[in-house]
Amino acid sequence: MAANGAADHSGLSYERGPSVPALLETTIGINLAQTASRHGHRDALVDVHAGRRWSYAEFLADVRRLATGLVRAGIGVGDRVGIWAPNRWEWVLVQYAAAEIGAILVTVNPAYRSSELRYALRQSGVCMIIAAPGFKDADYRAILAEVAPDCPDLREAVFMGSSRWDELAGTQADSGALQQIAATLTGSDPVNIQYTSGTTGHPKGVTLSHRNILNNGYFVGELLDYTAADRICIPAPFYHCFGMVLGNLAATSHGAAVVIPAPGFDPAATLRAVQIERCTSLYGVPTMFIAELGLPDFADYDLTSLRTGIIAGSTCPVEVMRRVIEQMHMPAISICYGMTETSPVSTQTHTDDPLERRVSTVGRVGPHLEIKVVEPVTGETVPAASPVSSAPGVIR
C-alpha cells in the first residue's frame, strides 16, 4: 500500500490517466441544452449531401420536437428505439431526441440484412425502429416487412422521409413534459446499445450510459483542443462509436459543428465537404485516408482549413501518417485505441507527440481511466498478458 493509502502499482503493468478535466456528471440532453445556450447561433449540423444545415438553436428545437413526437407515440424511459440508416441528418436528430427522453438508442449496422437485423431487434427488444427507405442495393422496407413478424416487441417502423416521420419530427415541442422526463434521468442511465462484431458468434449487445459516451466524446475533443470554432467532417459511420461518440458527442460537448459529407464513404465527397465547409478536423480509418490521398485530383482540393482529426480502427503506416500531416495539413492528427465496451476510447496519442510515437503506439491513457495487464488465470497484474480497462466509460 502506498503512503497515501492507494494501492502501490510501482513496477507493475498499470497506468492511470490524469484526473483533469473533471467528468461531466450530466445527461446528453442537458449537455446539448447547455451548449445551445452558449453557441445557439453557430452551426451544429451540416448535411452536405442533403444541402441542409442547423444552428445549435435550430438543432435543439428540432430535437425537442422529435422527442415530443416520440413520447406521443408511446416511447418512454428505457424503451429501445432502433435506428437503421447510413449517415444522414435524421440519424443525428434521432440520436439526441432519444437521449432527451431517456430512451435507449439501438444502433443497427446499415449493412445488416434479414438474419442480423432479426437477431438485433429481438435480442435488444426494440419497440420502434426508425429507418432509411434503403441503402445501396438494400430495400429496408422489404427487409423489415420480412423480419417484423418475428420481433414481438416491435410496435412500429418509421421510415425517414415518410408522412409518419414528418408527423413525429414536426410535433409541437412540449417543454413541460420534456422537463419532467429530464428531471428523472441521471448520467448513469443507459442511452445506447451498440452491437459489436460477431467474430465469435452473434453480434454482442453492449449497453452504454450517458456518462459513458458523453465523457468519452468530451475527453477526445479536449485532447484535440476542440472549441466552438471547429468543424468536424465525419465520413466514419454513425452506427459505430467512432461516428456517434468521437464525432457527434465530441462536437456537441464543445459547440463544434458536425459535417456529414455523404451517406456512405466517398473519398471525393469527403474532400469536397472539407473544402466547401472549411472543416478543421477529419476522421477515418487508414484505408479512408489512403483512398483520399489516392484521388487523381487530390492536389486540386483546398484542405488548408484542416488542422486535426482522428485515425483509428487499425495500424496506420508511417508513410500514410506523414502524408496526412504534410499533404492534408493535419499536423495535430491523433491515433485512438479502444473497444465498444469502453465507450470506446481508452488511449489516444497527443497532438504534439512525435510522428514515430503516433504510429508506433496507441497513445496515453485517457483522463479518469485505468489500464493494466493481467495474468489471465490468476488475474494478477504482471508485465505482460491480457489488457483490461477500468474507467467511467466501461459498461455496467
Beta-carbon count within 10 A of 367 CB: 21
Per-domain boundaries in the chain: 14-372
The DSSP 8-state label assigned to residue 300 in this structure reads: G
CA distance 107 to 126: 10
Give the pLDDT of residue 378.
Answer: 86
Q: What is the pLDDT of residue 200?
A: 61
Helices (H) and strands (E) in the chain, counts: 14, 20
Q: Any idea which residue has 487523381 for its cell? A: 296
Q: How far apart are CA 364 and CA 371, in angstroms?
A: 10
Identity of the residue numbered 89: W
Can you read off the three cell numbers belonging to residue 86?
447510413
Which candidate, 188, 267, 143, places its Cα nearest to that of 25?
A: 188
What three-state secondary structure class fits 112?
coil
- Positive or negative CA dihedral for 244, 367, 323, 328? positive
Q: What are phi and psi of 310, to 5 degrees?
A: -135, 135
pLDDT tens for each residue of the chain, 396 residues long: 344 445 677 778 889 999 999 999 999 999 999 999 999 999 999 999 999 999 999 999 999 999 999 999 999 999 999 999 999 999 999 999 999 999 999 999 999 999 999 999 999 999 999 999 999 999 999 999 999 999 999 999 999 999 999 999 999 999 999 999 999 999 999 999 999 875 567 888 999 999 999 999 999 999 999 999 999 999 999 999 999 999 999 999 999 999 999 999 999 999 999 999 999 999 999 999 999 999 999 999 999 999 999 999 988 999 999 999 999 999 999 999 999 999 999 999 999 999 888 988 889 999 999 998 888 888 888 875 455 556 677 666
110-118 LR contacts (CB < 8 Å, sep 24+): 110/84, 110/85, 110/86, 110/135, 110/138, 110/237, 110/239, 110/264, 112/84, 113/138, 113/143, 114/143, 114/146, 114/147, 116/198, 116/203, 117/84, 117/143, 117/144, 117/147, 118/147, 118/150, 118/151
Task: Give pTM, 2 decimals.
Answer: 0.94
- Rounded Cα distance between 266 and 248, Å, is 19
CA–CA distance, 313 with 316 (Å, rounded to integer): 9
| CA geometry: angle 106, 110, 115, nearest 5 deg | 80
Integer Cα distance of 206 and 193 in angstroms: 5
At how many degrees (to 10) do helices 28-39 and 210-223 cross? Answer: 40
Q: Looking at the chain, how many residues does it have?
A: 396
E strands in the chain = 14-16, 43-47, 52-55, 80-84, 104-108, 126-131, 134-135, 138-139, 156-159, 190-195, 205-209, 231-233, 257-260, 281-284, 308-311, 332-338, 345-348, 364-365, 370-374, 386-390
**Distance (Å, whole) CA 222 – CA 238:** 20
Return the CATH number of 14-372, one of 3.30.499.10, 3.60.150.10, 3.40.50.12780, 1.10.1740.10: 3.40.50.12780
Tell me the three cell numbers of residue 385.
498478458
